[in-house]
Structure 1
Amino acid sequence: MSSSPSTNADTAEIFDVIIVGAGPCGLAIAARLRERRPSALFTDEEHARYSWMSRHANKAAIKIKRTGQVKTGSDCQPCQYGPSILVLDEHGNDFLAKWKSFFRKLEIKNLRSPMFFHPDPSDRDALLAFCHEAGRSHEMEEIVGCVGKEVSKHKKKRRMNQRGGSTKSAVEVDERDRKDYFTPSSSCFEDFCEACISKYRLGDGLIQQGTVREIEYTMAPGDERPLFHIRTNTAQYLARTVVLALGPGEPIIPSPFVPGQLPASATHVTDATLPKLLSKDLLSKIRCGKPTNVLIIGGGLTSAQAADLCIRRGVGKVYLLMRGHLKVKPFDVDLCWMSKFRNQQQSVFYTSDDFAERFEMIKEARGGGSMTSRASKLLKQYVQDSKVIMHTHTTVKTQCFEESSQCWTIATEPPVADLPQFDHIFFATGTKTDVESMPMLQPLLANHPIKSIAGLPTLNEDLAWAEDVPLFFTGKLAMLQLGPGAGNLEGARIAAERVSWAIEDVLKNSTDVKVDGEGQRLWDSDEGYVSGIGSKFAGLSVDSE
């Protein structure tokens, strides 16, 4: 491992958990590590009861008869729960810094995900409750085509004929969940996340800005167990466990364009170094009244959002190229993977022990780029108004950038006649994730090899690198264990639930975590006795200290 920057392992603080990434996945795992009563384990009634007990416990002074000591209410307050946490993020000192930047860059007004997709572990309906409580229900947009209300009689009849006259069909979304299939506004979701951060006290220097260069798991002098040594561009840290809560990955630049050799007039929409989508040169041409043409490559929701922004900013004409057909669906995965309840697809996925088979199911469920019906209707309106020209099943065959005119000349396959020169090219071609090519993981790959499929690591069921290497993954890198929705907000919360329990097991023998004689977590004060958690005989003990 590199010696600079250096840290004295004998004096440096050892964190229980270091989270790499402060996006939605990072927020979800940090919140879960601070939550004692997650909705995954407690019913709404139990959660309300325990919350009431926490708020009203230890209000009166208590006299210990044996010693005569009197504990005031302030002395009896429950201790802060959870392991010591540090979050490292290269984009800023706040949660969701990159997320917010991307949404502002494309001026995205609403999320694509439903109301029960959020990072708060305490309540599945927390976001829905927040919108109603804040009086912002009007900011929610209904996600059409989910429950079935929008299906016409003609379409129902056609589907019945396709099934050979059968009137039975699988219900993908339960009717009782209709209220959940709305999507919050971007500003409302950000405010909800800020409330979540405040609720779990995840501010106050918890996040350190820095780019992680290297992660090594090794035994340091004087240590009883191996520790993670994390080196960033500014410092070095020690941790017992590490969670990689990284974003979508590296931008994909399609052939014949060469990554790293593109001029400023060809950019990927997810490029975090560009705060604005439209460049200064392109905006200058628009202000001068010059005719402008923009090429957008990609067929997903991001391409539609980029096209909409270009038209609203005054671009003369937008050409949209997509290698397949225009796919319209509510979410980035098939609807049958989005229900609150387990379904056949999830059961088949989880019972398969073959990671290659799981990967094929993931590919089928995601099916490439797609856009919502609202985005599709807007795009088709632009096409009707001759502001957008769309070519499906089309790819770029050759490209040439002319320095003199600062424009692109493009040839396509199949050929498209009368293509103009383009002032700017935007790539909305998605991102790729490859665990084997990540620089920060090279020491681990050398000392603790792991198999991967199409860049996805074959993690264990705890989402860990290995049983003896407590490096955990959330997001797309955990897709072979969580399924095709691992990269969305619901996947972040499911991953946080799994990882938090695994981290607790790792930290059981740590002196920083209170455990009983059987290695089980101790609960504060009388809460365990009253709520029935743990051994009720523990409530008979008296603290005489």
Structure 2
Amino acid sequence: MTDHEPVQIEPDNFRDGIIIGGGTCGLAVAARLCENHPGSLFTEDEHQRFHWLKQRGHKTNKVKSKQRFDYDRFHPKDLLVIDTRNNMFMAQWDSQFSACQIPHLRSPMFFHVDPSDIDGMISYAHLNKREKELMEITNVVGKEFSKHQQKRLKSKLKSTDGIVDINMRDWKDYYRPSTKLFHDYCMEVVERYRLQDGIVNDEVESIEHRLIQSGDDLGKGFVIRTKSGKIYGCKFAVVASGHRGKINYPLSICPDPHFPNGSCHTTHLFSKQVQFLDSQYFSNPDRKNIVIIGGGLTSAQLAHVACQDPTVSSVHLVFRSGIKIKHFDFHLDWVAKYKNVKKSAFYNLGTNELKYEMMNEAREGGSINPEYYKKLKQHVKNGRLNWMTETQVVEQGWENGSWELSLRKQNSEAKRLSKIDYVYYATGIQADVESLPFLHTMFDEFPIDVCNGYPSLTDNLQWNKEIPLYMVGKNAALQVGPTSANLDGARLGAERIGWHLQNMKLQGEFDWSPVSVITNNDGRSSTFDKRLQLAGGSINWFELLEFEKIN
């Protein structure tokens, strides 16, 4: 089949848009595309003004403004979500939180997937009388400071410059939702936008930008092939595939990790390839000796779960660096009231390399929040946890079904850990968009720049200005910033994509022309053939019109 021949797509397998991934990013995009009055990025004052204008519609004099307050939204039947885990939204998210037994999110209440209202989850909690499921994040914005502490803080501010994390003008407390509350709120969003019937359980194997015919419609779009053998077609596609890339295995010291019998990575736990503390991998299921390697919140959560398990006799937690305690993955000035100062500085950087450096500075590697720091300190005090900081594994050997590890602390002699049954690596994933198998064809035919594993997209998170393939989440980091992989980035990315796609829909850029077939007895090209050439780019509209005029 040549590029000028259309790929036939069954009408039942054709949609306006297909979203790859049914997690928080995929749900945020789907909901945003179906929302005609998005308001989740507005402040409270902007919200009031927005609703006042919306109620009055075109009767309001906007001082000759051309700004639109109505959007040409998509409908649930226009979209299809393909998820590798399940035919339900949030399957991977549920699996990850279940594996780590996480009771509360790390993110505050105003980070969520609802495109209509930034305070939507707070309202949901109060309307359903679930306030007890909220955990307060203390000492974040200032209410918990005494008058004496506030005076001392103000005196310090007089002699310092720069941004201060504590914003005394923003006087409301920060709360974190319970895992169940957040999940239930996401399901409420799914129900509100009637998205549940538009998700299927399958794995995407390839994406191609091709000429497509579905029924009487003909145009350039995406052909998406899946592991089950299905062939889907769409006018635009969004990649919301989550945290996928190269696993950071320490292969230099452990060339054979003996997966799954001797070790695994947290990605294997989240995908349920391995169950945490599964007895089948231990010679003595009642006396499990484990090592957890990694300096982030996930390693702390796993260590806490292990210390509570009576079958675990020893837990060794290895941090390569010191202990970094932060409420969030990044500093508050990236998401609080004056976040535009930081984000504007990021957006105005001249190169992707500079943006990458700023992202690393903002996230500072792995960190844990105060809640889990207190829990781990208590386990250390009780003798349940051996917490080794500024320590690296320098040698690792597998013998007779157990590990022998050599560890070295900074400026100290190496120590050995013997008879370790299992090693869990919470060492993260290295961004590598080119390692995604289903994108190989796109990179081969329509190459774009990649910086340290992150793709260089347009400001609208588009592959390039001509091809309507979008990316959201971690892969949009060079455009969204260091919060791209978090809920803040999911909503911001969904807003950029949603605004751009709805604007294209409004302008008729997704209106494919119906195909009319004319049979010519004299052997001349039919209108159908000419329209194929037009869609393929080999002729222009003037040549087609001249042909139809003659015939």
TM-score computed with the length of structure 1 as normaliser: 0.81
| Partner of residue 379, structure 1 | 376
Aligned pairs (5 A) from 1:356-505: 356-402=353-399, 404=400, 406-414=401-409, 415-505=413-503
Shift in CA distance, 50/276, structure 1 to aligned 2, threshold 3 Å:
farther
Spell out, residue by residue over 1:203-253, the C-alpha distance to the aligned partner (whole angstroms, 9 max, x if none): 12x111111111111224797542111111011111110101121124321
Residue in 2 that maps onto 1:123? 117
- How many angstroms does 1:138 deviate by? 1.2
Q: Quote how far apart the aligned CAs of 1:374 are.
A: 1.1
1:212 alignment partner in structure 2 = 204
Aligned to 1:93: 87
Aligned match of 2:19: 19
Give the superposition deviation at 1:432. Answer: 2.2
Paired residues of 1:470 and 1:506 also in contact (CA < 8 A): no
Instruction: Report matched runs for 1:270-419 at 5 Å.
Output: 270-271=267-268, 272-274=271-273, 276-281=275-280, 285-287=284-286, 290=287, 292-314=288-310, 315-402=312-399, 404=400, 406-414=401-409, 415-419=413-417
Q: Secondary structure at the match of 2:482?
A: coil
Alignment map for 1:17-96 (pairs within 5 Å): 17-40=17-40, 43-45=46-48, 81=75, 84-96=78-90
Q: Which has the higher mean CA deviation after the structures are superposed, 337-346 or 86-95?
A: 337-346
Q: Which residue of 2 aligns with 1:57?
A: none
Q: Are residues 159 and 294 of structure 1, via their aligned partners in 2, closer, same or farther at CA, if it must alter by over 3 Å?
A: farther
Whether the 8 Å contact between 2:282 and 2:422 is mirrored in structure 1 is no
Contact 1:253-1:259 at 8 Å conserved across structures: no
Q: Which amino acid aligns with 1:274?
A: Q
**Which segments of 5 or more consecutive residues in structure 2 lack a partner in the other structure?**
58-71, 514-551
Normalized against structure 2, the TM-score is what? Answer: 0.80
The alpha-carbon deviation at position 341 of structure 1 amounts to: 3.8
Read off the aligned partner of 2:239 and give its amino acid letter: L
2:141 corresponding residue in structure 1? 147
- Shift in Å, 1:81: 4.2
Task: State the secondary structure of the residue aligned to 2:138.
Answer: coil
Alpha-carbon distance in 2 for matches of 1:156, 1:50:
40
SS at match of 1:15: strand
Structure 1 residues 196 and 173, CA gap change in structure 2 (3 angstroms): farther
In the TM superposition, what is the alpha-carbon distance from 1:157 to its structure 2 partner? 9.4
Matched AA of 1:342: K
Q: Letter of the aligned partner of 1:88 in structure 2?
A: I
CA–CA distance in structure 2, aligned partners of residues 411 and 79 of structure 1: 59
Cα distance in 1 between the residues matched to 2:439 and 2:290: 38
Mapped to 1, the partners of 2:188 and 2:473 lie a distance apart of 22
Cα distance change, pair 41–512 in 1 and its aligned pair in 2 (3 A): farther
Task: Please say which of residues 222-231 and 499-508 is displaced more in the overlay.
Answer: 222-231
Task: Within 5 Å, give how 1:109-120 maps onto structure 2.
Answer: 109-120=103-114
Asked if the contact 1:27–1:95 (Cα under 8 Å) also holds between the matched residues in 2, the reply is: yes
Alignment check: 8 A CA contact 1:297 1:429 kept = yes
Q: Secondary structure at the match of 1:426?
A: strand
Give ranges in structure 1 of 5+ residues lacking alignment.
55-77, 514-545
Matched position secondary structure for 1:294? strand
Seen in structure 2, the aligned counterparts of structure 1 residues 219 and 384 have a Cα distance that, compared at 3 Å, is same
- Does the CA-based 8 Å contact 2:84-2:201 persist in structure 1? yes
CA–CA distance in structure 2, aligned partners of residues 53 and 154 of structure 1: 49
Distance in 2 between the 1:282 and 1:158 partners?
55
**2:175 aligned residue:** 182
Could you tell me how far apart the structure 1 residues matched to 2:498 and 2:227 are? 28
Distance across 2 between alignment mates of 1:440 and 1:50: 44
Paired positions, count:
480
On the 8 A contact 1:144/1:330 being kept in 2, the answer is no
**Corresponding residue SS for 2:290:** strand
Deviates further, 118-127 or 253-262:
253-262
Separation (CA, whole Å) in 1 of partners of 2:392 and 2:194: 49
Report the residue type matching 1:396 in the other structure.
Answer: V
Structure 1 counterpart of 2:47, one-letter code: D
CA distance in 2, matches of 1:411, 1:53: 71
